[in-house]
Structure 1
């Protein structure tokens, strides 16, 4: 509970007990809940509040005119109408009025009176308890000030006024003497009316789920305490009016109640404002989801996703550094590049060849949308550095809550860059084409799910990883040579494998069969030095290919299983990929692969007859059958939509799911741009 914020200046303990005005919300809640049975008493509380509001707005205006000398006209007030069928609970109101009348001043008496009222209203809802008490007060307060207004012009009002002691208050010396105290009561009633109005508004908002409107939960939890403070304040005001009309020296101290009720009112207003903000976001989110289900034009979808209501901004053209209208996207296919400000150089570089490939085609555009929850000066500086590295269109300081929520929940954005492809109608053609762009580049154009299925069905081509970065490797691929791609965490294993694989490649049997085998150590530069950039690029491509293959498939095909096995070896001492040209033949764990090489003499004769490819794979598979390694496959949470289940690449069982936390400082391709 937020009670401690609402505690007024503490008063001394009364008879050794804690002062009511110093009690916490929790202490008050414990007491008042004992009075609340259940809310099954049904009556039209809304209509009663409408009538009470009409009475008190006019009565308080009369007080302002009479006591403070204002010139506001009652005719300017607009009354609300209750339901035609409304029948006020008069007997209950009279009982409550009697309960509050002629009480001695003092906070402990006010508390006891409030508890008595709550006991009488135990079967009513909390908002009903508050408005019934206020209505009982309004009967007397409205009657008193109506007679004060009419007593000079109406004989009946004059006589009634005498019975109600109206002349006692209206005598000029008395009015001057008690004017400040009368205004204090009047202002406190206005504030209490607002508190109860706020409680009613919260009750109307309770049709929303608190999961969707979190601020509603906090406010609704406090309603019983807020109702208590409204009722005890009304009781105190009634006591003060009795003291004033009796012209006695006794007074009810109202300032502590005023402090409580004003803090309560400010809290309610703040929570209601927050509720409306969250409801507006909820409705906008629902509207955005509906728009994305039945899109008609990319511009409408883009505006709803990126900009707050009625706040459409221009885009930055990264190629000219000038601002342009979002009309440049009209009737275009658009690749939305979504990332945080920790986007890496690697991720930006992936899109540059795509930009170069499509910029002559006016039907395709790329737009960077930086996902930032809250902008700061430092983040703006970082944004400026990043956007200068991008030649495509850029959204400035994107931050609409609705758009970010949609991107995270519907497009599975988890702070890792994604590329959402949309057609001219605003329909999503691919929820994240970055995986296939990383692997195939412009060969995957136009980057739709259909294009992905088509190109991924052709298999994984090793040249897709290396491009033109290694001329020797490209030549080997072109010549359809066997290539061992290998690496691992253990340098000793790498050295042993290099030695044994080189011996295999140079074996007379292999040479005599005109079988050409080359070695490529992944993670090593041209001079043999460690190159974490190459290593990071390799694993990014392998992961991207895997996610492309599993995007819609439920059962893994042989190639996907090989890639999955390779990913499970990523953090092992050693691993290999054997390819023939650009085609993947097999993958293997360092331990079993070393056994295959150690036992080369047992199968090299068959290699000459049926080829290295078949012999190597069959011998390796037999070793796995005898000593199947436990398979672990780490799927980054930032990968987007993760398959519901995954089969083991070594056996037909479904793999168990675990959660692990890992930091890879050595993955050079993921180094963020600072």
Structure 2
């Protein structure tokens, strides 16, 4: 006779008595343990014990073994901090063997285990018991794997009575499928219990009936996992201890299948109830989030807690110390949430980290922190592992992507419109959203954009002009140095190799006349073609060039500039800067190429397209010594206006002195030559009122 949740395995009248006995042993202490790591190690043992691993012992190279065990070694390193759990695992392993040697029934041994683990949470109890089973069984299998090639393993096998490897192989062959199914379901139940314990139960406190029912299911499921682990350990130990001579292999396999069926039924019932219960909780959390950002808060604690700490009191990882910390470290600070999928472009990640690598632009009282919030999308199976990105991120980060609540993920996607591309949501010190996406601001100005508000973004654009400094930003320190030194910097882009060869040839001819511009290749917005063209530029040593990464960053910044200006209301039709940005981003490869020229930090900038570039350079070269006086910028500007004449130009302009004029370049509006600077003194008395 069956009843829901696994109680079919005991008499109905005895169920209440059994549950009371189970709860009498349960007296959890305030000290909490991270049992998820222990379960990870246990899974690694369980699901690496396969027939192929035993039968192909010694066939793998040492290099392969080290690579496969890298994750386990990392877990083991972290697990050294959990000595108490390790001692509990060892003690449980001993108890399970001892009880079998005393012929104690499984229910009696289960009670002993429950009493010994009374101070732990249910998920921790299950993780310890499964780890004890994995430890004992893993030891036997490890000895068997190496006993034919390692003298030490052979001696241990002899002591344990494991010399008859063929009989062990026969037993494993008959029972491996049942055993793996049983272990899989027991691990599934344990994970389900873990998930239940980290649910934000405060949001379900009013639903007493659902809460009570779920807790009852957890208690029953935990009992049967522990009891099944005891029976499983007992059976395996019995067969190994008997030397397999007296073992009834078919009967043992049947008993394993029986256990597997029991736990499978329990798991299905628990998972079904847990899903229904967690959905209730998630709906309430989602409603809370919708109202949370409309409320006025004293500080940002409630907002950050609801976003990240519902499942874990220490949801954040510090990049330097690698310690787990709570959201209190962000209290009263501006917090920038760097939200991305695990499939984030390396260039976008590098651009962001590079722009925010220091906070030198912010004053000491204007503190902000950055938190990486990874959102796992369903289609990201097989994408870049979370741990690889974690090694690059220099900020706070969520300790595990799974620690982000489903409701929070849904809110980020539906309300903040996250669709996969990285975005940066900025919360002020009170938890209010000051910018729903500051990614463009960061890409263009970095920390200078603090506090990353829309008003600050508009202010920064009002201070900008179309210049080489704006175009390049701080992508390449050498280019920044050249601009500060007043050098002429020429950027060019094209995927037409013939055009590039001709451009660089003519530029070298001008260089021979004493003009020394720095010509740098930056490719185009068509990244794959640029990669191939860059390889040829490097191979033929045609000119200087940015690295492929910096070229990608260059174009990403331009895209952010266009996005930022369009969002602020600037239009391509009426705004000059937006026009220039858009023309580079939408450059047609059929037009062959483009060239941008500027001198130092001057706001004077010249752009030439296609054949216009080559024609102007040919004309400039023919001017000979005059080019030295005009400079490459002045010469190219003059070539676009009127032909060079021998007649002197009488155009002049008087400009009030300001410090910004020092080192600046001014082009004559009449003949397009570079204007010389003269000093004129004007008596200030004429400005007084008579």
Q: TM-score, normalised by structure 1?
A: 0.44
Q: Structure 2 length as normaliser, TM-score?
A: 0.43
